[in-house]
Amino acid sequence: MSARGHAFGIDIGGSGVKGAAVDLATGELVQERIKIPTPQPATPNAVAEAVAKLVAQAGWDGPVGITLPSVIIGGVARSAANIDKSWIGTDARALFSAALGGRRVTVLNDADAAGLAEDRYGAAKELSGLVVLLTFGTGIGSAVMYNGVLMPNSELGHLEVAGREAEHRAAASIKDRDGLTYPQWAAEVSKVLVTLEDLFWPNVFVAGGGISRDHQEWIPLLTNRTPVVAARLRNSAGIVGAAMAIDAGIAP
């Protein structure tokens, strides 16, 4: 963290590598977000080069927090969603540190980062107990937190619900692919949420992903019992969570 209470976060997705410095007192970006297209194919070395380019463009010379759409254990990627499969088994923390001249780096799952950010600064800020964030996009990402403490790499989108993976039933991409109306899609989301709440009994679900921008169209249609609130930080959540992680030294 800088003397001004700022930290730098980078959020790596299937289409873009996004980053900015974050004011850790407020969760707000302190500079315009920089975005570089994710290299195709999104191999480890190519993505590391894009990260180094982004950090240089931002003029940041301190430690960096980075998200990946992967299960991350001990800094090593154990899965790969929307990035090249060659990431599996890659020591992402060492790779990014080397690309950034040896500086300190923290790497964590992208949904986990979004959950941390929403819990501290966003929709779950005033809530306690068990919070489950779900990001509805190409798949369904998840973050599970208890009183602000992250349980990393939950991967609830792969849970079987009525014979199908949750994300194969209720990801936002399924709505688009199958031409579902909001009522039709909300019924599928409700099935997923009922399964999750029967297993975990959360205090609240936080709904993220791009489709959360239209939350008024579908959250009121959900029929599960647990309250569902829309994420507030939108596209900056991953960046903010990555910055939080490097400041706190979180290393799943």
237-248 and 110-121 are packed helices; what angle lies between their axes, rounded to 10 degrees? 90
Ranges assigned E (strand) in the chain: 6-12, 16-23, 28-29, 34-37, 64-68, 72-73, 76-77, 105-109, 130-136, 140-146, 149-151, 160-161, 164-165, 204-208, 228-230
**What phi and psi values does residue 29 have, to the nearest 5 degrees?**
-70, 135
Q: Residue 128's pLDDT is what?
A: 84
Helix (H, G, I), strand (E, B) or coil at 56: helix
pTM of the model: 0.91
Report how far residue 154's alpha carbon sits from residue 178's, in angstroms, rounded to the nearest whole number.
Answer: 27
Report how far residue 54's alpha carbon sits from residue 9's, in angstroms, rounded to the nearest whole number.
Answer: 11
Report how far residue 183's alpha carbon sits from residue 181's, in angstroms, rounded to the nearest whole number.
Answer: 5
Q: Residue 252's pLDDT is what?
A: 58
Report how far residue 71's alpha carbon sits from residue 79's, in angstroms, rounded to the nearest whole number.
Answer: 5
Report how far residue 226's alpha carbon sits from residue 149's, in angstroms, rounded to the nearest whole number.
Answer: 20
- Residue 189's contacts (CB-CB under 8 Å, 6 or more residues apart) are 136, 170, 218, 222
65 near 9, Cβ under 8 Å? yes
Residue 155's region, left for phi above 0, alpha for psi from -120 to 50, else beta, is left
24 is written with which tokens? Answer: 């850790």
Q: Residue 135's pLDDT is what?
A: 93
Q: Extract the residue ranges of the chain whose pLDDT is less than 70.
A: 1-3, 249-252
For the chain, domains (ranges, CATH) are 6-112+236-248 (3.30.420.40), 123-231 (3.30.420.40)
